[in-house]
Structure 1
Amino acid sequence: MRIILFNLFILSSLILVAAGCSNNPKTSDASDMSTTNPTSVETVYEFKVKDIDGNDVDLSKYKGKKIMIVNVASKCGFTPQYEDLQNVKEKYSDKITILGFPANNFGGQEPGSNQEIKEFCSAKFGVDFEMFSKISVKGSDRDPLYTWLAEKADEEPTWNFCKYIVGEDGKTVDFYNSRMNPMEIVEKL
């Protein structure tokens, strides 16, 4: 009887330890802020994300630069904006850095894997601006970066290809909806 009780104790302890170590379902693979409350983060430079190949990227590498963060999708009416974003990168790389975050939050318009997304963007639009691992930009599983952006701009993405412009200070955030052409936004900056 002692052996059975001891085994039950060990089993229940293992279950409790495993439960405490499980991944937080609200945290995506793209951002490494699972233990940080995004609302307490002061600048975008405090976030670490994963690029489309799964490599860690510390957003502090963009300190002092204006950044356009865009939630992108491959099967959307706004998908041609990939070309516009690439044009912005080519024409205004000294003025702004483009960061693309694939997301499948709006009608299943980004169903592919990171590799499929990368191949599509490269083949169809010649994209060579920085692309990151697919994340959620809305809802209960929203990535911490997008929680922070939505709070700072007081707007969350309403569809694919919404744009956040983060100022050189890493704190100032402006929101532009999907209909706003990226080139027009940058020309006004």
Structure 2
Amino acid sequence: MKFLIALIGATIAAGSACALDLSAKFDSIDGGTLAVSDWAGQPVLVVNTASQCAFTKQYRGLQDLYDTYRDQGLVVLAVPSDDFKQELSSNAEVEEFCELQYGIDMPMTGITSVKGITAHPLFASLRDEAGYVPRWNFSKVLIGPDGEVVAKFGSNTKPMSKTVTSQIEALLN
């Protein structure tokens, strides 16, 4: 009986861990596919972006964050989305805008749904397992090297803020 209780307890404990869909493939904005699992063992900051938003200037901060910490293992994944009706109409337009305006070379997906019934499987699992749904463009979620959600940041939180960098530095040390 004690064994059965221990087995049930272990099963419940194992089932309560976050099971994010890190292997769900995104179309890459420049061709091919990518997934958060491509960077297993590294911290990944996932950010839903839009080219025609008041927060669009955060692209510069995201690129600066990537430049500052990428050699230590940080990945910043930009996920353009038109869920808030502020994205350009094609992947080609988004890619050109980001390269010309901000010199973006961080990984970037094609235009992707991040909320609702059409949400990409990663974002659906973030909603279901971690209670994370982007409230607006440039919402951020930090996924640790172990694949667990470490922190969530709203649109107003600047990428190079101490709030963000302290969480990243803790994962890199």
The aligned runs of 1:23-172 (5 Å cut-off) are 42-93=19-70, 94-106=72-84, 108-172=85-149
Q: CA deviation at 1:44?
A: 4.5
Q: CA deviation at 1:186?
A: 3.4
Q: CA deviation at 1:56?
A: 1.8
Q: CA deviation at 1:175?
A: 1.4
Q: CA RMSD in A?
A: 1.8
Under a length normalisation based on structure 2, what TM-score does the superposition of the two structures give? 0.79
2:132 & 2:35 partners in 1: Cα distance?
Answer: 24
SS at 2:86 equivalent: coil
1:139 & 1:160 partners in 2: Cα distance?
Answer: 14
Q: CA deviation at 1:53?
A: 2.3
Q: CA deviation at 1:149?
A: 1.6
Question: 1:35 — aligned with what?
Answer: none
Moved over 4 A (4+): none
Contact 1:121–1:127 (8 Å) recurs in 2: yes
Contact 1:152–1:173 (8 Å) recurs in 2: no
Task: List per-residue Cα deviations over 1:33-88 (Å, max 9, x = no partner).
Answer: xxxxxxxx824432222100231224322010000000000000000000000000
Question: 1:38 — aligned with what?
Answer: none
Under a length normalisation based on structure 1, what TM-score does the superposition of the two structures give? 0.73
- Unaligned stretches of 5+ in structure 1? 1-40
SS at 2:160 equivalent: helix
Task: List per-residue Cα deviations over 1:87-139 (Å, max 9, x = no partner).
Answer: 00111111421000100111x20032001000000000011101101111112
1:72 & 1:178 partners in 2: Cα distance?
Answer: 10
- Unaligned stretches of 5+ in structure 2? 1-17, 168-173
1:155 & 1:61 partners in 2: Cα distance?
Answer: 21
1:173 & 1:72 partners in 2: Cα distance?
Answer: 20
SS at 2:34 equivalent: strand
Q: CA deviation at 1:183?
A: 1.2
Contact 2:19–2:125 (8 Å) recurs in 1: no
